[in-house]
Every structure is written in structure tokens, then in C-alpha cells.
Structure 1
Amino acid sequence: MSRTDPQFKLRVPAALRLQIEQAAHAARRSMNAELVIRLEASFAKEQQKQEVTP
């Protein structure tokens, strides 16, 4: 990721933002990096499910 990657605004409930912030802090990364990693993992998991399903 770089600062030249496209940006967009995202509204999230305060409680979810706190969870993201805490997870990012525990993993020693930014909130942005935490969100990107979790989204990538979610899509990878979804793709694996589609590949397994006949």
C-alpha cells in the first residue's frame, strides 16, 4: 500500500471503529492496514469456498 493508492470515505459505527482500532494496535499496524488485511482475507476465504463448491 502506498499513499498514492485510491482513497474513499467509510462510515462505521463507533463500536466497530473501536474494535478495528484495538485490533490494529494489537497487531502493531495502522487501522488502514488492518482493514485491508481483513478485507483481503475475507475475499480469499470467499474465493476458496467457491473453488470447493462443485
Structure 2
Amino acid sequence: MSRTDAQFKLRMPAALRAQVEQAAKQARRSLNVEIVLRLEASFTQVGQGVSQ
């Protein structure tokens, strides 16, 4: 990811942010990278016929 990628503000509940921050910390990733990876994974799952 680069600084030229689109940026936007995101609102999320504090408890969810804490969970994502903890996951990012455990994986030694930034909060941004953690969110992007999880979003990408959710679209991959949908493409494989797994939906929520």
C-alpha cells in the first residue's frame, strides 16, 4: 500500500477497534494493514461460495 492509495475516514465501535488493534499487534502489522487484509479475505471467502 502506498500513500497514493485512496484514504477515507472510518467509524467503528470502540470495542471493535480494540479487537482489530489487538489482532494487528499480535500479527505485528499496522491497524491499516490488518483492516485491509481482513476486508480482502472476506471478499475471497465470498468468491469461494462462503457467505455470512
- The runs of 5 or more residues in structure 1 that have no matched partner are none
Residues 5-16 of structure 1 aligned to structure 2 (within 5 Å): 5-16=5-16
**TM-score, structure 2 length as denominator?**
0.92
Equivalent-residue separation in structure 1 for 2:45 and 2:21 (angstroms) = 23
**TM-score, structure 1 length as denominator?**
0.89
Give the corresponding residue for 1:26.
26
CA shift, 1:45, in A, is 0.3
Q: Deviations over 1:1-54 (max 9, x none)?
A: 11110001000000000001000000000000000000000000001107xxxx
Equivalent-residue separation in structure 2 for 1:20 and 1:37 (angstroms) = 11
Structure with greater helix percent = 1
- The runs of 5 or more residues in structure 2 that have no matched partner are none
Runs of 4+ in 1 over 3 A off after TM superposition: none
Across the two proteins, how many residue pairs are aligned to each other? 50
Q: CA RMSD in A?
A: 1.1
Matching residue's letter, 1:24: A
